[in-house]
Amino acid sequence: MIENKTPLILCVDDEVVGLRVRKMLLERAGYRVLTAEDGRSGIDLFASQPIDAVVLDYAMPGMHGGEVAKRMRQAKPTVPILLLSAYVGLPEEVSSLVDIYMTKGEGAPALLQKLGNLLSM
Amino acid sequence: MFIEPINQKESRGRVELKRFEQTLRQAMILPIVACLFLAAVLVWQIHGSNVTVDRVEQSDQRITLATLIEKLVIDEETGLRGYQVTSDPRFLAPYHYAEAPMQQAIARLQVIATPEQKDALAQFATEHQLWHQTFAESLIATIGAGGHADNDDVNLTGRAEMDQMRSLLNTIVSTSQQVRIDRADQWHRQTRQILAIFIVLALSVGIFISLFTRNRLEHISAAFQTALNLQRRRAEELFQSEQHLRTTLTSIGDGVISCHVDGRVELMNPIAQELTGWIESEARDRPLDEVFHIVNEATREPVENPVSKVQRLNRIVGIANHTVLIRKDGSEIAIDDSGSPIRNAAGELTGIVMVFRDVTMERRTRAALLANEKLAVAGRLAATIAHEIHNPLDSVANLLYLLQQDPTDEESKHYLEIAQTELTRVTHISRAMLSLYRESKAPVPVNLKDMLEDLLLLMEGRFNALGVQVSSDLPPGVIVEGFPAELRQVFTNIITNAAEAAGQDGAVTVRVIPQKAVVKPSGDNTQAGAVVEICDNGPGIAPEIRDRLFHPFFTTKGERGTGLGLWVSQGIIRKHAGSIQLDSRNEGPDRGTIASVFLASKPVIDLGGD
């Protein structure tokens, strides 16, 4: 029952290694983690699972992070979304869709802190 | 300056010639006509005169016949008188003899006599008959019977009849004479008239001919003067035209050298003199090779000059690329030239004209543009590569964080392995990027699979950002010779274009198709090599811009493009003796663009190239 109270995080990224490392990092921080390697399976998981927060990569083949975030918002508008990007500048219409966005180079502590903030809101 | 069109001049010249011929014809025909008219009038007049002469002769004949009849009558009477006096029948011989000729003469005179004379003649015949029967025959009978014929009454009657006959004959003679005199007068008048008419007509014809000839000669003289003026004007126009052309030639911004058909220099414009360093008077009649010495920029081999090329091919020729002109003082300038045959109206080669210009600045500009495009490609790739490096670096940073969180030994080992892999990836990317700009001096074997895989790896982030699915079919071991850095630049360009055209959810396929050497029936050989096909399923290229795709500064990307990508790519592929082709469809199931680049396995590389 305690496990149920641990937040369930959905990580979406086409970079397999990066995704694996991120999962390990979040699990070490005490979260439960689900992963998806592209936008479509991410949306499916988001719809079927009680996701508490999403860590989403922007640059992905097929459907980019902005589009994925838009669809997730339509399905469950209250779930916070953190958008990760290798680019520094994201288009305005994408950054306004998500709760927070950060670049990949900011490091693990920053990611964990921002995710913590999102979940405690 | 107005130059009358040649055909107008010619038509005017033809008109002049026609008029001149017409005048000549008139000057020949009209005197003949006048003389014929004169002759006709004379013939008519002489004919009239001949008729008169005939009539005079007729009158003479009448007179002769009437006189003959009179003589015969006298003979008859004389014979009769002698017989009357002597009773000797021998005296009757003239009497008897006269009978037959008289009848003949009367008959002949009857034919030609005038009506009045005919009446008189008829009366004479009657009288003669009467005299003959009533007087002469009875007298002869009386004397023959031995009687006397001294009866005065009878004799007087005979005498009166004879007088009557003579009077009739005299009338005939005298009227004939009168007629003859009249006709002779008429003949004289006619002769004078003919003479007068002849003189008048001859004078008229003479005056007419002289006036006419004078008039025609004036025409001819005027026509000649016109022709002369025309000729003078043409000469003037020709001179003006030549001056005009000469000015054009000297003002032209390109060097122009015209040569005789044997290749000796005929004329040089000032630019040609400036570029070659030869002055026209020195260069004239020298062989062109001496004045216009050209070599290949890279190989220093002499290049065939356009004039001998034109002599050989007998058509307009362009120049080989990368030609350098060695000036009289030994300095060099890059030039671009062409030669054209000069032909006469019969199409025979009469000379060769060569046009050339200094392209040193142009070549420098081109080199600068190429360098610029290289930088632009590098810039575009840099963003992609930053993204590519960012991902593994992020993983490594996360792993380092995990290592700080007191992991177990096993975990640490695992983290370090992953970090190692990720750093290897970073190294790979940076090496691929470095090789993109490593220049090589000579062509080297390029493995197309390795090169394209490297490129696709570098561009992965870009494809992801664009939302494009990239697939490839790259068989191993396909090797072409070339400059790897340049070929990478070409394929980066074309693949980027394809990905941008395909857009969100689009697909790009990169394929290598090895190609064997084929000898076609047409005699064209296909070289062995490979075709690299880059297909996208984007909207295709609008038909109206397809022609301009390979032009420099043509771009559909606005601020994001330099417009040099395809132009440079084409230059590079041509240098590799390959070809680049775009096939595009705007609708249908196979919508999209296929860019096919052919590269030969062993190309003859154009080393003079940029």
pLDDT digits (tens, 9 = 90+) for A95-112: 788 888 888 878 889 999
> Poorest-confidence range of B1-15, B332-346, B553-567?
B1-15
Q: Where are the beta strands (DSSP E) in B297-436?
A: 317-318, 323-326, 332-343, 349-358
Confidence of residue B440 (pLDDT cuts 50, 70, 90): low
The CA distance from B136 to B516, in Å, is 154
* pLDDT at res. B474: 92
Backbone angles phi, psi at B505, to 5 degrees: 65, 10
Confidence of residue B609 (pLDDT cuts 50, 70, 90): very low
* pLDDT at res. A2: 43
Among the listed residues B477, B513, B501, the one whose alpha carbon sits nearest the alpha carbon of residue B565: B501
For testing the chain B interface, which of A11, A17, A87 should be mutated: the one with the most B CBs within 10 Å? Answer: A17
Q: How large is the angle between the packed helices B448-466 and B484-502, nearest 10 degrees?
A: 30
Report the percent of chain B where pLDDT is more than 90: 11
Tell me if domain B15-228 and domain B366-600 are identical in fold.
Answer: no
Q: Residue B523 pLDDT > 60, yes or no?
A: no
Confidence of residue A8 (pLDDT cuts 50, 70, 90): very high
C-alpha count within 13 angstroms, C-beta hemisphere, residue A63: 17
CB atoms within 10 A of CB B42: 15
Q: Is B455 helix (H, G, I), strand (E, B) or coil?
A: helix
User: Is B464 in contact with A64 (Cβ distance < 8 A)?
Assistant: yes
C-alpha count within 13 angstroms, C-beta hemisphere, residue B220: 14
Distance between A52 CA and the closest CA of chain B, angstroms: 22
Does B401 reach chain A within 8 Å, measured CB to CB? yes
Distance between A50 CA and the closest CA of chain B, angstroms: 26
B582 neighbors B594 (Cβ within 8 angstroms): yes
For chain A, the structural domain boundaries read: 2-116
Q: b vs e for A29-58, b when ≥16 Cβ sit within 10 Å of the residue's Cβ?
A: bebebbbbbbbeebbebbeeeebbbbbbbb
Q: Residue B547 pLDDT > 80, yes or no?
A: no
Distance between A66 CA and the closest CA of chain B, angstroms: 11
Does A28 reach chain B within 8 Å, measured CB to CB? yes
Q: Residue B97 pLDDT > 80, yes or no?
A: yes
Between the alpha carbon of residue B322 and those of residues B578, B603, B607, the distances in Å are 19, 19, 10
What region does B461 belong to: left with phi over 0, alpha with psi -120 to 50, or beta?
alpha
Q: What is the dihedral of CA A24, A28, A34, A39, to 10 degrees?
A: -60
The CATH fold assigned to B366-600 is Heat Shock Protein 90 (3.30.565)
The CA distance from B194 to B46, in Å, is 7
Residue for token pair 């062109």: B288
Cβ-based contacts of A87 with chain B (< 8 Å): 387, 465
Cβ-based contacts of A70 with chain B (< 8 Å): none
From the CA atom positions of chain A, what is the Rg in Å? 13
The CATH fold assigned to B253-358 is Beta-Lactamase (3.30.450)
Does A91 reach chain B within 8 Å, measured CB to CB? no
Confidence of residue B563 (pLDDT cuts 50, 70, 90): low
Does A76 reach chain B within 8 Å, measured CB to CB? no
Q: What is the mean pLDDT of residues A34-48?
A: 92
Tell me which of 1.10.10.10, 3.40.50.970, 1.20.120.1730, 3.40.309.10 is the CATH number of domain B15-228.
1.20.120.1730
* pLDDT at res. A94: 76
Distance between A6 CA and the closest CA of chain B, angstroms: 20
* C-alpha B40 chain-centroid distance: 53
The overall pTM is greater than 0.80: no
Confidence of residue A3 (pLDDT cuts 50, 70, 90): very low
> Poorest-confidence range of B183-187, B317-321, B580-584, B590-594?
B317-321
Q: Residue B1 pLDDT > 50, yes or no?
A: no
Confidence of residue A88 (pLDDT cuts 50, 70, 90): low
The CA distance from B487 to B484, in Å, is 5
User: Is A105 in contact with B505 (Cβ distance < 8 A)?
Assistant: no
More confidently predicted of B255 and B432: B255
* pLDDT at res. B15: 66
Among the listed residues B537, B535, B466, the one whose alpha carbon sits nearest the alpha carbon of residue B504: B466
B418 neighbors B395 (Cβ within 8 angstroms): yes
For testing the chain A interface, which of B391, B399, B459 should be mutated: the one with the most A CBs within 10 Å? Answer: B391
* pLDDT at res. A11: 95
A53 neighbors A79 (Cβ within 8 angstroms): yes
Q: Is B530 helix (H, G, I), strand (E, B) or coil?
A: strand
The CA distance from B530 to B511, in Å, is 10
* pLDDT at res. B85: 84
Write down the number of H helices and E strands in chain A.
6, 5
User: Is B467 in contact with A24 (Cβ distance < 8 A)?
Assistant: no
Q: Residue B4 pLDDT > 50, yes or no?
A: no
User: Is B418 in contact with A28 (Cβ distance < 8 A)?
Assistant: no
Cβ-based contacts of B421 with chain A (< 8 Å): 17
Q: How large is the angle between the packed helices B565-575 and B484-502, nearest 10 degrees?
A: 140
The CATH fold assigned to A2-116 is Rossmann fold (3.40.50)
For chain B, the structural domain boundaries read: 15-228, 253-358, 366-600
User: Is B390 in contact with A22 (Cβ distance < 8 A)?
Assistant: no
User: Is B467 in contact with A63 (Cβ distance < 8 A)?
Assistant: yes
Does A102 reach chain B within 8 Å, measured CB to CB? no
Q: What is the mean pLDDT of residues B9-18?
A: 64
Backbone angles phi, psi at B560, to 5 degrees: -80, -20
The CA distance from B92 to B72, in Å, is 13
Confidence of residue B29 (pLDDT cuts 50, 70, 90): confident
Distance between A37 CA and the closest CA of chain B, angstroms: 13
Between the alpha carbon of residue A97 and those of residues A68, A71, A72, B221, the distances in Å are 10, 10, 10, 103
Q: Residue B78 pLDDT > 80, yes or no?
A: yes
User: Is A60 in contact with B505 (Cβ distance < 8 A)?
Assistant: no
* pLDDT at res. B513: 92
Does B465 reach chain A within 8 Å, measured CB to CB? yes
- B230-289, pLDDT tens digit by residue? 999 999 999 999 888 888 887 888 889 989 888 899 889 888 999 999 998 999 999 988
Average per-residue pLDDT in chain B? Answer: 83
The CA distance from B503 to B492, in Å, is 16
Confidence of residue B125 (pLDDT cuts 50, 70, 90): confident
Q: Which residue of B has its CA nearest to A23?
A: B398
* pLDDT at res. B226: 86
The CA distance from A9 to A34, in Å, is 6
Cβ-based contacts of A63 with chain B (< 8 Å): 467, 505
* pLDDT at res. B439: 63
Does A40 reach chain B within 8 Å, measured CB to CB? no
Does A86 reach chain B within 8 Å, measured CB to CB? yes
The CA distance from B90 to A2, in Å, is 213
* pLDDT at res. B46: 87
Q: Residue B512 pLDDT > 90, yes or no?
A: yes
CB atoms within 10 A of CB B137: 12
User: Is A105 in contact with B463 (Cβ distance < 8 A)?
Assistant: no
* pLDDT at res. B561: 63
Q: Residue B334 pLDDT > 80, yes or no?
A: yes
**CA dihedral sign of residues B298, B299, B300, B302:** negative
Report the percent of chain B where pLDDT is more than 70: 90
